[in-house]
Structure 1
């Protein structure tokens, strides 16, 4: 005999899909005779009908991936998504650049290559983001004749 209606009722009671209803093969006759919901509930209580555990998603691959990334792997061109600009911290980049330019300006002032007044002007320009690099700063100094006359 078919256990379709019993399986459907059990699935409804256990709040799972019909595929996740386990029926004890030893007690199939008892299940066949169960007609009402009460009968099914009694069989569930007796352990004749049970809920099959849901299969989860394994975290093993995710753990392996995390470990590889922690070791600095998976960073090649093929693993990157998004624009190159999305992978860099623009603020950190700017801070590094400005610090380098300010360091060079300080050196030029201490070596008396530029005047204090010129230093101050260039310092403020550096703050405003006028210079893209130290080379850019030097080019600006040359083209505008800001070197101190010896």
Structure 2
């Protein structure tokens, strides 16, 4: 019949300063161990090697170290071993540099094609640096909007200029007509004076 030695095991673990599972009790002396109810009696049994702490299993790092060395060479790092999102294994700074370079390249391209002028490029470049645009698409949309606004402003300026020109032409016509009237009157007076002298 098996004897319950849970209490003695707990006392032995406390005395030996190890876990309960690390305590070895001699199965032949189970009745002697069962009679022990204090830590002093357990200490005596430990001296007599009836209760002994189990040896610690060695957890070798050989295989782990070997794998690390292989990984340094690039083994076990293929596509099948990668987990996580697209940029999970990429440095944040590298991601930022890629993103900014793409946007700046787009700006330079549009400037080279003369779709934007230098002032617009400077403005957009500072906004790119401030992380305003999350993608190339949003940057291109902004460029198109700015171009549309600029075209509208140009058209409005042209219309205003035409209106001013019309008003100026109208005023010129009026002044010319007025001058002509005055000249006609002067001419009439002169002719009257000349006719009076002849008579």
Q: Residue deviations 1:56-105, cap 9 Å, x none? A: 65444433332233332222222122222333345532323424654786
Residue 10 of structure 2: aligned partner: 12
SS state at 2:44 partner: helix
Coordinate RMSD, CA, aligned = 4.3
Structure 1 or 2: larger helix share?
2
**Counterpart Cα distance in 2 of 1:116 and 1:71:** 48
Q: Note if contact 1:21-1:50 (Cα within 8 Å) is conserved in structure 2.
A: yes
Q: Note if contact 2:12-2:23 (Cα within 8 Å) is conserved in structure 1.
A: no
- Structural mapping, 1:1-150, within 5 Å: 4=3, 8=6, 10-15=8-13, 16-17=19-20, 20-23=23-26, 28=28, 33=32, 35-37=35-37, 38-55=40-57, 57-99=59-101, 101-102=103-104, 115-127=117-129, 128-129=132-133, 132=136
The alpha-carbon deviation at position 107 of structure 1 amounts to: 9.5
The alpha-carbon deviation at position 43 of structure 1 amounts to: 1.9
**Counterpart Cα distance in 1 of 2:121 and 2:22:** 79
Structure 1 range deviating more: 64-73 or 99-108: 99-108
SS state at 1:98 partner: helix
Structure 2 stretches of 5 or more lacking a match? Answer: 14-18, 148-199
Structure 1 stretches of 5 or more lacking a match? Answer: 145-150
Q: Note if contact 2:8-2:36 (Cα within 8 Å) is conserved in structure 1.
A: no
Count of residue pairs the alignment pairs up: 132
Q: TM-score, normalised by structure 1?
A: 0.54
- Greater Rg over alpha carbons, structure: 2
Q: TM-score, normalised by structure 2?
A: 0.44
Q: Note if contact 2:107-2:125 (Cα within 8 Å) is conserved in structure 1.
A: yes
Higher relative contact order (CA 8 A, sep 6+): 1
